[in-house]
Amino acid sequence: MKFRTILTSIALAGALTSVDNTARAALPELNSADHAVLDMADAFKKGQAKRLSELLPRVRGHVLEPWAAYWELKSRLESASSDEITTFLRRYANTYQEDRLRNDWLVLLGQRRDWSRFVQEAPNYRMKDDREVRCYTLAMEHILGGVDMAQEVKDQWYAQKNAGDGCALAAQVHLDHQKLTPADIWRKARLSLEARQTRAMQQAVDMVAPQASATLASLLVKPEKFLSKTTPSSLRNEQELAVLALIRLAETDPDSAAQWLQERWASKLDARQRAWAWGAIGKQAAQKLAPNALSLFANASAADMSDEHLTWYARAALRANQWPRVLSAIAAMSPATAADPTWVYWRARGLLTLTQNDAAQQEARTLLQSIAAVRGFYELLAQEELGLPIAPPPQPESLTAAEKESARANPGLQRALAAIQLGLRPEGVREWNYTTNLHQSGGMSDRELLAAADLACEHEVWDRCINTSERTKRVVDLTQRYPMPHKQAVLTRTQGIGLDPAYVYGLIRQESRFIMDARSGVGASGLMQVMPATARWTAKKIGLTQFQTHQLNDRDTNIAIGTGYLKLVLDDFAGSMPMAAAAYNAGPGRPRNWRGQSGAPVMEAAIWAENVPFSETRDYVKKVLANTTIYAAMISGKTQSLKARLGRVGPLDAAVEINRDLP
């Protein structure tokens, strides 16, 4: 509720590594070793290496000893001897903690450029999900063996969000040997600036134009000054700096950036530079829902724009009902982006809308069939477009006693549950994910994943139940993927205020994954992630007297306030579920603006949702509505329509009253 960064499920119920005294009091009875583990978690957070070494003997034999030993050694890894590291890796072999420490050790070896030890240890690294480690490996292979890994270096480096030593090193050594070009480096600078990662942008520019550091710093503050004072020339660095200035200016004033590009810089930039600049300007205009966004994109070849530009080009074209441009933008996307269900669905819709010949119609149906399923937003829309029922699939064969016992006996799952029970949720979630993911040899089968999910459900660790079950490939257990805890409380409350229980469950699943004590980084609390100020306002509206914000941790109070606010918002938006979901996440004012001004077209709500400017809210609306449709099918036992729940969205009728005091 209220626009905020939704934390991952790892952090939902405890962003801190340690458990404070108040939280400890609410835990089951603890023994001395439990307290020692919690003290070590706290000491690790505070960087108290000496304290960790003192406490470690007290947790020997505890189920979470591998965590304690990891914290102790990690806190002094830079000064640890090779023998100490080797001893740890052997003692805790085949655990998450062994692989986690090896990951940390490889990063340190890469930073030290200790390639002899790096090459010995890297083959034993199972996790393989650390981009920095992979980049150090790419750098090492080029340095020691001259292996050309330029394409993967670009893939890894471009995808990295923050400045990192490993990927920068891999890029630098490939640039030094002319396996990467200056154009490749400038592309990274542009990507970083558009992602607002200025350190990563600076790192890239320093590789090809270190003398431009002062110019770059002032350009970021006053891009218009650079664009007006710098004489356009054919010098590559000046051209690239101009593109960066245009990107920066477009963030706040896309029309001004377009004017500077058209009147002063376009003739001095090459076709690819111009396309990128127009793409960045068009993207910003599209995010502001400006009517001229499509005309800005049309100034350059879509083939030379980035995928981020092209997705916004396609969204703007959808909003304007310009299907040829939708297809053109999707055709220019990289294969990986075009394969996303979002663009598979809209490509199919475009073909169905524009062409009536049998071949095109069959291609559209094939595209829809490739994604249709009872799961995500576009998968459900594809299912409905094909005329297939949105109903619960058959339940898989029941788990056997042996399958359940195998999950219970799994050491990694045992440690994960023990950590979560002690209040160390981040550690428990990481261990659970490692154990159930493909880091182990061969990975877990569908049946093993179902058994692990069942174990999590049994312990009411609903987020792990859901996420684990969602990874099965050939069988689907919707009761695991879409559980309904607190059913009586939810049904009683929703029936009392006339709210669809499926909608409430769809929202809770997205907000908190049913974690009772979930807390976001900005203070939203409980199952329905209610902000304190919103809770106080809602409590008055629904007649909940003597409410105090600490009561948000109470299940029934949280449900009462969350559903009360949702009903008020839903009524305010005339029953529009997608708009109410957007309001619940981003505040009511923003969806009112996003629906368009008087005279704007009425559109499918799926198109409206896809054009929501905030990526978090856009994702949120789609997931809540997909969840709602599936829960409705489960509750009713009947096929459902996502399209009917979405409806259409357009400008507000001037005669309609709206509740302007909604927080």
Q: Which residue shows structure tokens 């990295």? A: 160
Q: Residue 417: what residue type?
A: L
Contact predicate 298/258, CB 8 Å: no
Dihedral sign for Cα 203, 208, 212, 218, please: negative
Q: Which residues are catalytic?
A: 511
Contact predicate 501/494, CB 8 Å: yes
Token representation of residue 582: 């957007």
Q: CB-based burial of residue 219 (10 Å sphere; 0-12 exposed, 13-18 middle, 19+ buried)?
A: buried
Which ranges constitute the DSSP H helices of 8-47?
21-26, 32-45
Backbone φ and ψ of 407, nearest 5°:
-65, -45
Rounded to the nearest 5 degrees, what angle is found at the Cα of 61, between the Cα atoms of 60 and 64? 85
Token representation of residue 168: 């920068």
Rounded to the nearest 5 degrees, what angle is found at the Cα of 128, between the Cα atoms of 127 and 131? 130
Q: Residue 629: what residue type?
A: T
**How long is the chain?**
663
> Coil, strand or helix: which one is 298?
coil
Contact predicate 628/506, CB 8 Å: yes
Rounded to the nearest 5 degrees, what angle is found at the Cα of 582, between the Cα atoms of 577 and 584? 90
> Shortest CA distance to 153 belongs to which of 121, 123, 176, 120?
176
Rounded to the nearest 5 degrees, what angle is found at the Cα of 151, between the Cα atoms of 148 and 157? 110
> Shortest CA distance to 5 belongs to which of 656, 364, 524?
524
For residue 390, list its beta bridge partners.
Answer: 640
User: β-pairing, 603-604 with 648-649?
Assistant: antiparallel
DSSP string, 561-578: HHHHHHHHHHHHTTT-HH
